[in-house]
Structure 1
Amino acid sequence: MKLLLTLDLQFFAGEKTEKATPKKRQDARKKGQILKSQDVTAAFVLLILFLFLYITAPKMLESLFSFLHQAFEKNMLIESLTADTVMKIYVDTLKEMAMVLLPFMVIALVAGIGSNYLQFGFLFTMETMKFDLKKIDPIKGIKRIISVRAIVNLLKSLLKISFIGAVTSIIIWINLEEVLSLSFQSTWDTLTTVAKLTGMMGIAASITLVFIALLDYIYEKYEYEKQLKMSKQDIKDEYKNAEGDPKIKAKIKQRQREMAMRRMMQEIPQADVVITNPTHYAIALKYDESMDAPTVVAKGTDFVAQKIKLIAKENDVVMVENRPLARAMYDQVEIGQQVPEEFFKAVAEILAYVYRIKRKI
């Protein structure tokens, strides 16, 4: 019965039911384990690109015509080709292509970086690029293929295809008259209509992807939190590693108390007076001309108080009984501190009494 109870306790202690600690999250981030949805990045980039195309299409068309004009009117009319003219054609072509493609590429780059930054902030790590044999383990590869995550990814893909197909079909259905009249339009009007419908379908599909990406982000967050969960034993081990073993810390504190006690007892023979309760409290005071006020060199209750009085008796330190003063000073004054002003009068009377006794002796 005891064995079964022990096994049950070990099982529950090892079950990952607790939320990840900040340290666990920080360590996972350093390893590249972050909350990230690829669909969010893809949807955000596509939406920004189609909006950019829809707004700047006329300007990009002018740049494209300029490129074609450069290629078919100027370059084709060059009579003699030399190394210099070929290099000039190459440079001019690159410039015209850059005017067309560079804004598009810059927008895509900024959108990709921005979408990732919004998800997990700035992060640079090489941990994910390290060679790991576990990544090419065929057994784990098969498990990933038939895992719940693979099924979810399949459902997401089907959902994307269904939604995007439905949205584009709706847009074509709404503009069916324009689509059917394409065969009766001029080439320029046909291209204009197709470009307009393509932009509308792209924006609508991107908005649909954004909606799906939000659902994917929620799922990824659930999986991320589930992956980071810790057992109670993991939390205890982390605390031990970060703060030290509680048993060792307790031993260190005990050793520190013992050392402080020995130092305190060594100061008692140099004290001028020990104020007692008389049985439960003992306060040892020391005063000389270099001090602004008398200083507490030792204090204690019960057993420690008896020890202080024993050492004081062995070293001929005068003991004076003053119950309220001993109790009040024990509560308000720490070892090494000077006596507060509110106790000056009472302490001065006791020290005067002690000095009179010492003079008689």
Structure 2
Amino acid sequence: MQLKLDLQFFAGEKTEKATPKKRLDERKKGKVAKSQDINTAVLLLFCFIGLFVFGGYILKHMTGFYQKSFTEFIHWNVTEVSVQQVFTSATIEAAKMLAPIMLIAIVAGVASNLMQIGFLFTAEPLKFDLKKIDPIQGAKRIFSIRALVELLKSLFKIVFIGTITFTVIWIFKDDMLMTAFTNAENALGFFGRVTGIMGIAAIIALLFLSVFDYSYQRYDFEKNMKMSKQDIKDEYKNVEGDPLIKSKIKEKQRQMATRRMMSEVPNADVVITNPTHYAVAIKYDETKASAPYILAKGTDKTALKIKEIAKANHVITVENIPLARGLHSAAEIGDVIPEEFFKAVAEVLAYVYRLEKKV
């Protein structure tokens, strides 16, 4: 009894790698190994590049809008129509300024996901599931080991990125103090450069951390995807079918094929036997084939049945041990006999035709 329980325990232990079918099923549900840190790092990198490339374009539209505001809009009377026109104009200008960055952000988001998991579209995660609003299940997720790991990761990222940005500020602290003695344009230019340096440093740090995060996500995904030996057996049964049912289906198919084969025996010209273990029924019809072909064949009980049907339908039976064995192993039902048997079969058929003429 104890041994049986131990075997059941080990059979249920998840020690096996996930099968391709399970991976495909989980992928359809949207469950894949993915690091959000890679998405964040790539998104920030592309957006910073976009700001450097389109910075002049954005500045031009921004200053143009300010100029129009303080030279044209400022003289308008405050009415419902004028306020609406100002807000409409501001919205259009903001859309023009942000459009390149938004487009770059969309491309970056798609690219980072394609880089990790390839193309995947599924609505499965959007389906309503009562388990998602189950407070007990929610509490389990909140206080799980994975949630604790994610919390520690987030705290580490905050400290790591904060340390890097503070270091950049500390390096340029003297220059920052000196901006009090420069004009506004130079001060803004300096803070823009420092912000750019902090951004690039933070992006590099995030890319560095994302490598480790992706490795962890892959490890955790593979761990959760593991299957027990019983799971693999159950999956095989679902895919291939229950072995018992499958064997019964095959047996039924064999019986149907045998019945079809037996129904062709009365049409044979001759049945060649060995005489007890093999039987091969042959037909020669030049309108269907250029050479004699096999209508039926079998061994033991099937051979005996073929001979019985042949006898009942007055089909001549010829005993030829080597020819019967050779034809049985060399050709399948419906096949033309191989060339090396032409002469022997022709002699048998000639003999049969002579007997039929005598009759």
2:31 maps to 1:38: no
Distance in 2, matches of 1:103 and 1:267, equals: 77
2:350 maps to 1:352: yes
Instruction: Give the CA deviation at 1:201.
Output: 0.1
- Look up the match of 1:223: 220
- Look up the match of 1:136: 133
Distance in 2, matches of 1:251 and 1:244, equals: 11
Amino acid corresponding to residue 26 of structure 1 in structure 2: L
- Look up the match of 1:118: 115
Instruction: Give the CA deviation at 1:158.
Output: 2.3
Alignment of 1:1-361 (within 5 A): 3-78=1-76, 80=77, 85-288=82-285, 290-292=287-289, 293-361=291-359
Distance in 2, matches of 1:18 and 1:342, equals: 53
Distance in 2, matches of 1:319 and 1:104, equals: 89
Instruction: Give the CA deviation at 1:86.
Output: 4.4
Give CA deviations for 1:336-359 in whole Å, capped at 9, x if unaligned: 222233322221111111122233
TM-score (norm 2): 0.89
Secondary structure of the 2:141 match is helix
Instruction: Give the CA deviation at 1:193.
Output: 0.8
Give CA deviations for 1:290-319 in whole Å, capped at 9, x if unaligned: 443322122122343344334434544333
Secondary structure of the 2:279 match is strand
Distance in 2, matches of 1:171 and 1:243, equals: 62
Q: 1:19 to 1:6 in 2, by over 3 A?
A: same
Instruction: Give the CA deviation at 1:85.
Output: 4.5
> RMSD between aligned alpha carbons?
2.4
Greater displacement, 53-62 / 216-225 = 53-62
Instruction: Give the CA deviation at 1:142.
Output: 2.6
Distance in 2, matches of 1:131 and 1:268, equals: 62
Structure 1 residue runs without a partner (length 5+): none
Amino acid corresponding to residue 237 of structure 1 in structure 2: D
Distance in 2, matches of 1:224 and 1:69, equals: 55
Q: 1:299 to 1:214 in 2, by over 3 A?
A: same
Distance in 2, matches of 1:258 and 1:99, equals: 76
Secondary structure of the 1:296 match is strand
Secondary structure of the 2:275 match is coil
Q: 1:61 to 1:315 in 2, by over 3 A?
A: closer
Q: 1:331 to 1:69 in 2, by over 3 A?
A: same
TM-score (norm 1): 0.89
Q: 1:328 to 1:85 in 2, by over 3 A?
A: same
Distance in 2, matches of 1:264 and 1:102, equals: 74
Distance in 1, matches of 2:55 and 2:162, equals: 24
Greater displacement, 166-175 / 253-262 = 166-175
Q: 1:71·1:93 contact (CA, 8 Å) conserved in 2? A: no
Distance in 2, matches of 1:68 and 1:266, equals: 95
Amino acid corresponding to residue 259 of structure 2 in structure 1: R
Distance in 1, matches of 2:350 and 2:334, equals: 22
Amino acid corresponding to residue 249 of structure 2 in structure 1: I
Amino acid corresponding to residue 119 of structure 1 in structure 2: Q
Distance in 1, matches of 2:90 and 2:163, equals: 41
Q: 2:54·2:100 contact (CA, 8 Å) conserved in 1? A: no
Greater displacement, 19-28 / 283-292 = 283-292
Q: 2:270·2:349 contact (CA, 8 Å) conserved in 1? A: yes
Greater displacement, 69-78 / 168-177 = 168-177
Aligned length in residues: 358
